[in-house]
Amino acid sequence: MGSVQFSVTGNVATVTLDRPDAMNAIDPETEIALLDCWRRIDGDGDIRAAVLTGAGAKAFSAGADLKKTMPPAESYAAKAFGPGDHSFVSGLATDKPLICAINGYALGGGLELALACDIRLAAPHARFGLPEVRVGTIPGAGGTQRLPRMVGASDAMLMLLTGDMIDAAEALRLGLISRIVPAEDLVAEAQALARRIADNAPLSVRAIKRLVKEGGALPLDEAMRLERLVWGLLRDTDDRIEGRRAFQEKRAPHYVGR
């Protein structure tokens, strides 16, 4: 794919932003390639989890490539109501778990890409920021909405309104990332984590992700009712029966996603 590399090993896909000389900045070609990756991940029944990372040791992604992303010729209305108004982040709307291995700078759209993933691991030298306010715009791919939900309004406002960066230790303290992993082990650990998730019952994994995402926007009593409904939908699945048989027979379960 040129600026994005895509591979599948077992039930795990790995997507690698591959423009290290440009700090893996996202240009129009990269955006198209990423959208294709998300479609492949969502549409391939054999893929049960995915890892997203960046090439090189300096950056996960510095965000939009400002040299190649000047305002388009068409009006925003034409873009919004035209065919395929999807950003590289909106295409991540899949029930399959996405793990982001942040191997350096995650800035602007790069951080928004990481925020759209479900689990974030980071190398010790990783840095995080949403500097859009410094160049006369705003984070327009979820930054103003996802970041406050993850770290709280005050800490999010501090990052959003100043454009300042934070380091990996601060990101861990805020809950922006789950773990700090040595840089040389980062992708391997993310892939191992993805394999552990992929070994679980796929319908259960996808149901849990959807419940967490949708339930967070509901009052607790409504979210609990939704959880109970989904539990009922899974109750008689082949995989739930297989899980109990495997436990009784003291063997690894073989899940097929039905």
Q: Classify residue 228 as exposed, middle or buried by CB count within 10 Å of its CB (0-12, 13-18, 19+).
A: exposed
Phi (first) and psi of residue 121, to 5 degrees: -110, 150
Query: Is-contact 218 64, C-beta < 8 A?
Result: no
- Residue 84 CB coordination number (10 Å): 7
* Assigned token pair, 10: 């077992």
User: What end-to-end distance do the CA atoms of the chain give, in Å?
Assistant: 32
Give the three-class secondary structure for 116. Answer: coil
Q: For residues 222 and 215, give the distance between their C-alpha atoms in angstroms, rounded to a whole number.
A: 8
Instruction: Tell me the DSSP string of 65-108.
Output: -TTT-PPPSS-HHHHHSSTT---TTGGG--SS-EEEEE-SEEET
For CA atoms 77, 90, 225, 237, the dihedral sign is positive
Catalytic, 189? Answer: no
At position 147, the amino acid (one-letter code) is L
HSE-up (13 A, CA, CB side) for residue 75: 3
Q: Write down the catalytic residue from 29, 74, 132, 189.
A: 132
Out of 112, 170, 242, 249, pick the active-site residue: 112
Question: Annotated catalytic, 29?
Answer: no
Q: Looking at the annotation, which residues are catalytic?
A: 112, 132
